[in-house]
Structure 1
Amino acid sequence: MLISSYNPTALGDVLMMLTGQATNAEQDVEIHGDVAKITRQDNQQLVGVNLFNASNYVEHLIGDGQVFLDDQQVAQVNHALEINGASVQIEADHEPKFVVGAVETLVAHPDSDHLHIAQVDLGNEKLQIVCGAPNIGAGQKVVVARVGAMMPDGKLIWPGKLRGVESFGMICSARELGLPNAPQRHGILVLDAASQAGTAFDFNQDYSAQY
């Protein structure tokens, strides 16, 4: 997993990279020159790296939020980590985090009057996702934010539990996806039935006819 963000206007020349979930865990931070290495105290897992003066190390680094590092940029980051003595490396992550899913089954949550438990086919894997949208139904094609996705508002998607039931992603609304002219009402975006499960969601397509 690699979630990267860069916003020089708000945060300065700092490339922030998340490599794991640190929610509710105590963290250790080690500074090595221009690198801050962040690990969980409980298991020593690397969960984040901040690279300061990032534009001195990484070429073509442009953004005001989430950025997607290509292989060359990841190699440049790893070189920066090495010369700063951080003794860690990051791995490129090109797997799409927003994909088309097919809702195979839907059952009521045992401890809620509005939540449902969906089994969603993503083509090469199936996920259990708890969803509270009033318009969700079995057989639909939907947009799934997988674990490791960063939503347009900056929210990160991690595994979790909703009222005791495990959930491994989020089924998204047009508003949550930041689509143009998205309705403000509560409800997921239902895609055309011909959409193929497992394909990356195309944010540039016009979905207004499906709102």
Structure 2
Amino acid sequence: MSNLPSQPLRVADLSTNKPTRFELIPDEASLRAIAEELGLLGLRKLRFKGEVAASGKRDWVLKAQLGATVTQPCVVTLAPVTTRLEEPTERRFVADLPEQEGDAGSEDGVEMHEDDSLEPLGSHIDPAAVMIEALSLALPLYPRADGAEMAETNFTEPGKAAMTDEDTKPFAGLAALRDQLGQKGED
């Protein structure tokens, strides 16, 4: 149907009686640009297919299926890790976005709404922007190559015993105390 860059859908032109279907399949240049934007080593087979339909009198719902093959660096070895993603995506564009309690005048900044599929309705709905956001949210946070394990590294001052990962466990001290008490009871 269309390749990126796509034209955002003008809300005033959308049919309220039937869904507006779309399918985005970015070309090679767009795939490289998206991969660079998201810090990926590679991106292929990206497809975003769905529809935008009216929901009530003034709101709209975008439902789509995201499919992509991404390559990221392993968090341990930096070796390329390839992952296939298949994610359903839904965004609700609402004319009157409900306010969260504490939103107005909050000193801590803006709070996220409980329903993370809600978006404020503007004059356009951009499936390409939703696709890139959905892709970034679907990416594995800590991709790991097969067999890659973190090695234990210990650092300390010369002449002192290094603290190990085992020492940082909350009950390691209790186990040592239990062992000491067991030895005293045997004496």
TM-score (norm 1): 0.21
Question: Using CA pairs below 8 Å that are at least 6 residues apart, which structure has the higher relative contact order?
Answer: 2
Return the structure number with greater helix share.
2
TM-score (norm 2): 0.23
Please identify the structure whose Cα radius of gyration is greater.
Answer: 2
